[in-house]
Structure 1
């Protein structure tokens, strides 16, 4: 069934397409994650714009 050279070609094309889709979707997730993780400590926002429910964790090691 997958022994013809055309089968390999189509499988390879499908794999490349899926790799591209993973890359595109990963980039789309980066922007909202970065926006969510933004606070006054790592942006130009004033401290009063920080959520009172989410505290900034500071590592003192």
Structure 2
């Protein structure tokens, strides 16, 4: 049996974004929607996607 995952939730706990695994930013074994999320919002920046207010 084969399962194809087309979308996953961003690895950032506060983020509501979903991302295609092939286009995700990979860090710490997880998939993130942006560099900001992957770097745990070190600069206080959000992911800047419409409708998402995450800042780590």
Structure-1-length-normalised TM-score:
0.24
Greater fraction strand:
2
| Bigger radius of gyration | 1
